[in-house]
């Protein structure tokens, strides 16, 4: 079998399948990543979303019998909306980050890879494959850089010449010994814009970050968001795009190549107040197809409460009071209390009495602490007026 010729056929077929970039690398271990990953673990720069077995992230032969090559693919996604939601006076909207626009990218990439694998199997029926997207053992960006799709920038994202960093990545391990491409070469030069503009200092500038303080991670947690991050998320209820928006490689990048990636304005810029009372069925219908729905309803509702506070939306106060009184989830009760204290500028005696009563009734200690801070803040405002 002429594997170089087969590789050329696959590259041509990938274009027909809607794969924007494809590269090939060996299945040799990624041993140069070992010390870096150990250092990240030692510093606590992990959040639990990573694959837990370190060796399986480094050694392809630990997860695939006799691997010979890895195919890396990239699909470009849009960075601007062609249509925007209708603006209604008084309605406040939140935002999903660009990587969560359109149909969940895991679904799109798997479909493309399955079709590519089917094409290869027509040529080599006995060949074996292991496709992965995001949640697999290998590190997508590291594979993609070695397969010459691009280079890992200071912010840890893969940057391509054609599409910037607005790309989804996936890879396929196989036992076919394809010729390898040359690795991508670091191209950030002296630029540190992503480091300089990161609101929390999460980007370390060497291709690594501290994910614990990354706003994207903070929007995906299920407990209380630490107070120091609440104002910094602004009106974003999932993800963060800041390090991509300021990157020079992304200037002018906006590719609309895949209809299933086109954002629905009502879903990716949702009106915030209805999110506070959305049912499970309504949540699934409106957000279930988005990658940003994977953590469920509660984190997005918590973030919607924070966004309303950051808007200083006084019209949300009645609903926030209802949440404090009736919502069975402590995190939402406490976050609603914090939000009210952020919004109000002239607390009335009835509101202070309400908070005083809820403090007696509340049984969750962390929530009680949030309510007490909110109560004392409003009390202090009243004293100074």
Residues with a known catalytic role: 134
Q: Name the pLDDT band for 45 (thresholds 50, 70, 90).
A: confident
Task: Give CA angle at 54 (52, 59), nearest 5°.
Answer: 130
- Phi/psi for 24 (5° steps) reads -130, 135
d(CA 228, CA 225): 8
Q: Give burial (CB, 10 Å; 0-12/13-18/19+) of 382.
A: middle
Task: Report residue 374 as tokens.
Answer: 């909110």
pLDDT in tens, 323-346: 999 999 999 999 999 999 999 988
pLDDT in tens, 355-368: 999 999 999 999 99
d(CA 337, CA 322): 10
Task: Specify which of 41-45, 352-356, 377-381 reaches the highest per-range mean pLDDT.
Answer: 352-356
Q: Look at the pTM and tell me if it is higher than 0.75.
A: yes
Task: Report residue 186 as tokens.
Answer: 């670091």
**Residue 200: partners with Cβ closer than 8 Å, 6 or more residues away:** 213, 214, 215, 229, 232
Task: Give CA angle at 286 (283, 287), nearest 5°.
Answer: 75
Considering the chain, what percentage of its residues have pLDDT values greater than 90? 88
pLDDT of residue 39 exceeding 90, the answer is no
- Determine the pLDDT at residue 159: 98
Task: Name the packing angle between helices 317-326 and 330-343 (round to 10°).
Answer: 150
- DSSP alpha helices (H): ranges in 128-268? 140-146, 193-197, 215-218, 227-230, 242-245, 265-268
- Phi/psi for 125 (5° steps) reads -60, -25
- Determine the pLDDT at residue 384: 66
Q: Give burial (CB, 10 Å; 0-12/13-18/19+) of 132.
A: buried
What is the widest separation between alpha-carbon atoms in the chain?
A: 83
Q: Cα–chain-centroid distance for residue 101? A: 11
d(CA 70, CA 59): 12
* DSSP-assigned states of every residue in 284-349: HHHHTTSGGGTT-HHHHHHHHHHHHHHHT-GGGHHHHHHHHHH-S-HHHHHHHHHHHHHH-SS--H
- Beta-ladder partners of 71: 24, 172
Considering the chain, what percentage of its residues have pLDDT values greater than 70? 99
d(CA 239, CA 147): 27
Q: What is the DSSP letter of 250?
A: G
pLDDT in tens, 165-188: 999 999 999 999 999 999 999 999
User: Cβ(142)–Cβ(30) under 8 Å?
Assistant: yes
User: Cβ(54)–Cβ(38) under 8 Å?
Assistant: yes
pLDDT in tens, 209-219: 999 999 999 99
What average pLDDT does the structure give for the chain?
A: 95
- Phi/psi for 86 (5° steps) reads -65, 130
**Residue 331: partners with Cβ closer than 8 Å, 6 or more residues away:** 222, 223, 224, 298, 302, 367
């Amino acid at each position: 079998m002429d594997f170089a010729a087969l590789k050329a056929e696959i590259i041509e077929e990938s274009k027909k399948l809607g794969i924007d970039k494809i590269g090939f690398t060996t299945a040799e271990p990624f041993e140069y990543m070992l010390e870096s990953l150990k250092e990240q673990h030692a510093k606590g720069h992990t959040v639990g979303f990573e694959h837990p077995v370190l060796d399986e992230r480094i050694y392809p032969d630990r997860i695939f019998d006799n691997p010979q090559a890895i195919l890396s693919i990239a699909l470009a996604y849009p960075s601007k909306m062609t249509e925007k939601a209708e603006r209604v006076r008084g309605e406040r909207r939140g935002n999903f980050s660009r990587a969560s626009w359109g149909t969940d990218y895991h679904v799109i990439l798997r479909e493309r890879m399955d079709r590519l694998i089917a094409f290869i199997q027509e040529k080599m029926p006995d060949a074996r494959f292991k496709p992965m997207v995001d949640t697999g053992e290998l590190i997508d960006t590291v594979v993609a850089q070695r397969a010459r799709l691009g280079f890992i920038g200071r912010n840890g994202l893969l940057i391509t010449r054609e599409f910037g960093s607005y790309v989804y990545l996936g890879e396929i391990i196989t036992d076919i010994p394809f010729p390898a491409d040359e690795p991508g070469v670091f191209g950030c030069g002296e630029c540190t814009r992503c480091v300089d503009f990161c609101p929390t200092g999460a980007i370390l500038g060497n291709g690594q970050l501290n994910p614990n303080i990354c706003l994207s991670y903070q929007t995906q947690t299920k407990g209380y968001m630490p107070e120091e991050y609440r104002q910094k998320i602004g009106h974003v209820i999932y993800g963060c795009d800041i390090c991509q928006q300021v990157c020079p490689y992304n200037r002018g990048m906006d590719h609309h190549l895949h209809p299933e990636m086109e954002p629905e304005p009502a879903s990716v810029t949702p009106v915030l107040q209805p999110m506070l009372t959305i049912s499970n069925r309504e949540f699934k219908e409106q957000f279930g197809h988005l990658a940003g729905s994977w953590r469920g309803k509660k984190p997005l509702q918590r973030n919607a409460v924070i966004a309303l506070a950051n808007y200083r939306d006084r019209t949300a106060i009645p609903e926030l009071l209802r949440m404090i009184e009736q919502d069975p989830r402590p995190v939402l009760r406490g976050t609603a209390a914090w939000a009210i204290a952020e919004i109000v500028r002239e607390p009335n005696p009835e509101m202070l009495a309400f908070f005083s009563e809820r403090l007696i009734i509340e049984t969750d200690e962390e929530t009680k602490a949030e309510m007490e801070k909110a109560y004392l803040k409003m009390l202090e405002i009243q004293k100074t007026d």
